[in-house]
Amino acid sequence: MFGVLSRALTQGNSLIRQLLAVRTPMCQEVAGFKVKSRLKLRCRCCYFIRVDGRLHVECNENPRHKAREVFDVKKLW
């Protein structure tokens, strides 16, 4: 009797653990570019790249480091 009861409790606990387990999302949410007037490299994996005349910062390790230069209208004149 005790063996059956203990098995039922352990199976119930594992079921409760599975139902209450915190699930991590499968994909990581990534924000867009930060727009800054002065760009800098924030870690060793960051690098500069020029796209359509603007300076961008890209990072392979941390996508939150992505930034782009403010578009200056005065440079067009």
Domain coordinates in residue numbering, the chain: 2-70
Q: Are 59 and 65 in contact (CB under 8 A)?
A: yes
Q: What is the pLDDT of residue 27?
A: 64
| pLDDT, tens only, 24-43 | 666 666 568 889 989 999 99
Q: What is the pLDDT of residue 54?
A: 87
Tokens 């994996």 correspond to 45
Q: At 47, phi and psi to the nearest 5?
A: -150, 155
d(CA 59, CA 33): 11
DSSP 3-state of 68:
strand
Q: What is the pLDDT of residue 31?
A: 65
Number of helices and strands in the chain (H, E): 1, 4
Query: How far, in whole angstroms, is CA 72 from its chain's centroid?
Result: 29
Q: Is the pLDDT of residue 55 over 80?
A: yes
Q: What is the pLDDT of residue 7?
A: 58
pTM: 0.54
